[in-house]
Structure 1
Amino acid sequence: MEVQIFLVFLACLSPVLATTNSTVPLVMWHGMGDSCCNPLSLGHIQTLIEKEVPGIYVRSLEIGDGIVEDTTNGFLLNVNKQVEMACQKIKSDPKLANGYNSMGFSQGGQFLRTVAQRCPSPPMFNLISVGGQHQGVFGFPRCPGASVSLCDYMRKLLNLGAYISFVQDNLVQAEYWQDPLNEAEYRQKSIYLADINQENKVNETYKTNLQKLKKFVMVMFGNDTMVQPKESEWFGFYKAGQDKEVYTLQESPLYTQDKLGLKAMDKQGKLVFLTSPTDHLQFTETWFVQNLVPYIK
């Protein structure tokens, strides 16, 4: 009888022990020209994380059916649809039901921020944006990996006009294209970035949800030759009417008017600004482990 009682006690206690001793899961989202599971990029990073944080569950988001579709969708699938897909994948994963940390690389950084703003359940605890372009971009000097043909197609469409409805609906990079020389058209016709950055009507839900984060970590690459301007990785951008002088997050209306709650988060110590003195996504394993892994342990 005593043995049976003891076994029942252990059965009741085991969920508590699992919750206490388990690590927080991690959701990752890749950047342009990459895929969820490339062994030379996110696959390698996942292996590194699993080595540094034993027992961690890592869900690297695959947007589409297979690696090829996942890669092309990073160029050609409407961002709002991608975010819907990501939210559904996260919500339907039982291993993420109690919450998770997230890490986005390049455009995956602002996409995961959108998940935090639009899909608060299950809860996201820490958001790590590695080179994410939170104020968008104005220029594409080069493209990563072996995506030359897709990059050429992208440039042709952007040259046609980033704010033409067909381009906005069908080219991911146009959806976070911010033209400082024509801000009115950007605010009027941007179907993604202008929405998540509260450029027009303020969505209080976005603001409330983002402030639920414990930490919002932003990595800027000091010698970035891909993102223009690189300060977008810290919510900076070109001042209106030109493309040379850059304002900081703290100087932006997004901050001064606290449209997303970033000012409040900054005062609470929730915003973390990190720099890697390298080109876009060209960090070392040592830098990654020392600077980013502490936020997912």
Structure 2
Amino acid sequence: MKLFVSLLCIHIAVALLALRNESALPIVLWHGLGDTCCLPISTGVLRLFLYGKIKNIHVISIDTSSDSIISLQDSYFLNPNQQVDYACVVLREDKNLRNGFNVIGLGQGSLFLRAVIQRCGHKLPPIKNYISFGGPQQGISGLPYCTAVSHQTCSSMRELLEFAPYHYMTQHAILPATYWHDPLRNEDYKKRSTFLSDINNEEVINELYRSNLKQLQRFIMVKFKNESVIQPPESAWFGYYTPGQKKELQTLQQSSIYLEDRLGLQEMDKAGKLIFLTHPNQHLEFDELWLLENIVPYLVDKRNNGTSADVLINIKIDTN
């Protein structure tokens, strides 16, 4: 056992040394609901992890305000279309991204980054890998709890989402309403959702969205094994309830988005560009070793003979 632990520690140390000697593309992060760019939870933890493991990495953590209180409020109430437009400008003007970059989204931030890719990706330097941590790719049908807002506010939001999610006022006042996907009101969702229905090409196929998304090298979807925030959890892998009921689930490959290839996901899947991973923890609770084994290899530039990737494979073998 001691020998096993010693070998594991050596492999990890060598992996970190290799990572620190390789160049890596910049990374763009986008936080989730009830979070900001830099709080010492979720996004802040991931940001510090990246800085600590990849030498000279340039990380942008998108936020709507330098005031953390406003930023927290925006994560609940600022329309995502406005946020995406803002992010497109920020990324287009950042000269550090000129040779390409990777993007990582947390929760709803994953959806916003996909919208950036689809809507303005052709105006940006190449986006290589898109990593979605617990991102509700097919939306949500429940809001179990809120952080950073009062209990009364959360209860009022939940009532509106349950009874009038597609009303004009709800769609423009409550951010989660824009990716609320009621399987019992599927046609209302398609016609009246102001955000998710559009980026999922539900009503009309926007060829620009398909083209931009297919330019990715990889689309990596991470589902959390003990997920209790995203409902249903399968949304993190683009699965969802079969339309018309709220019990039976279907996978991405069984959905019309895939079968009709409305986003190009079927083509990407056949090309090996879709990666489905399961993290063992609760929603956005990160395990560093898991990140090192499963995520960092996609973030490190392989131009230097792939040394770090080889070492990481050795770690994975030893820990099984």
**TM-score, reference length from structure 2:** 0.83
3-state SS, counterpart of residue 119 of structure 1: helix
Residue of structure 2 in register with 1:270 after alignment: 273
Identity of aligned residues (%): 44
In structure 2, how many angstroms separate the alpha carbons of the residues matched to 1:142 and 1:245?
A: 24
**What does 1:105-184 correspond to in 2, within 5 Å?**
105-120=106-121, 121-143=124-146, 145-149=147-151, 150-184=153-187
Which of the pair has the greater relative contact order for Cα pairs under 8 Å at 6+ separation? Answer: 2
Length, aligned pairs only: 277
**What does 1:186-265 correspond to in 2, within 5 Å?**
186-265=189-268
Q: Is the 8 A contact 1:106 1:133 kept in 2?
A: yes
**What does 1:278-297 correspond to in 2, within 5 Å?**
278-297=281-300
In structure 2, how many angstroms separate the alpha carbons of the residues matched to 1:171 and 1:97?
A: 35
In structure 2, how many angstroms separate the alpha carbons of the residues matched to 1:125 and 1:78?
A: 27
The code of the aligned residue for 1:108 comes to G
In structure 2, how many angstroms separate the alpha carbons of the residues matched to 1:182 and 1:146?
A: 30
1:233-258 superposed Cα distances (whole Å, 9 cap, x missing partner)? 00000011111110000000110111
Q: Higher mean Cα deviation, 167-176 or 145-154?
A: 145-154
In structure 2, how many angstroms separate the alpha carbons of the residues matched to 1:165 and 1:64?
A: 26
Q: Higher mean Cα deviation, 48-57 or 28-37?
A: 48-57
1:70-128 superposed Cα distances (whole Å, 9 cap, x missing partner)? 11111101111110011111111111122210000011111111111011112211000
Residue of structure 1 in register with 2:102 after alignment: 101
The code of the aligned residue for 1:125 comes to K
Q: Is the 8 A contact 2:161 2:180 kept in 1?
A: no
Gaps of 5+ in 1: 1-20
The code of the aligned residue for 1:60 comes to S
Q: Is the 8 A contact 1:182 1:241 kept in 2?
A: yes
The code of the aligned residue for 2:179 comes to Y
Aligned-residue offset at 1:44: 2.3
In structure 2, how many angstroms separate the alpha carbons of the residues matched to 1:78 and 1:231?
A: 25
In structure 2, how many angstroms separate the alpha carbons of the residues matched to 1:159 and 1:260?
A: 28
Aligned-residue offset at 1:221: 1.0
Q: Is the 8 A contact 1:75 1:154 kept in 2?
A: no
Residue of structure 1 in register with 2:37 after alignment: 36
Residue of structure 2 in register with 1:4 after alignment: none
Residue of structure 2 in register with 1:61 after alignment: 62
- CA root-mean-square deviation: 1.6
Runs of 4+ displaced beyond 3 Å: 145-150
**What does 1:66-105 correspond to in 2, within 5 Å?**
66-105=67-106
Aligned-residue offset at 1:195: 0.5
Q: Is the 8 A contact 1:130 1:220 kept in 2?
A: yes
- CA gap of 1:153–1:123, structure 2 versus 1, over 3 A, is farther
Aligned-residue offset at 1:160: 4.7
Q: Higher mean Cα deviation, 258-267 or 36-45?
A: 36-45
In structure 2, how many angstroms separate the alpha carbons of the residues matched to 1:280 and 1:66?
A: 25
Q: Is the 8 A contact 2:226 2:282 kept in 1?
A: yes
Gaps of 5+ in 2: 1-21, 301-320
The code of the aligned residue for 1:113 comes to R
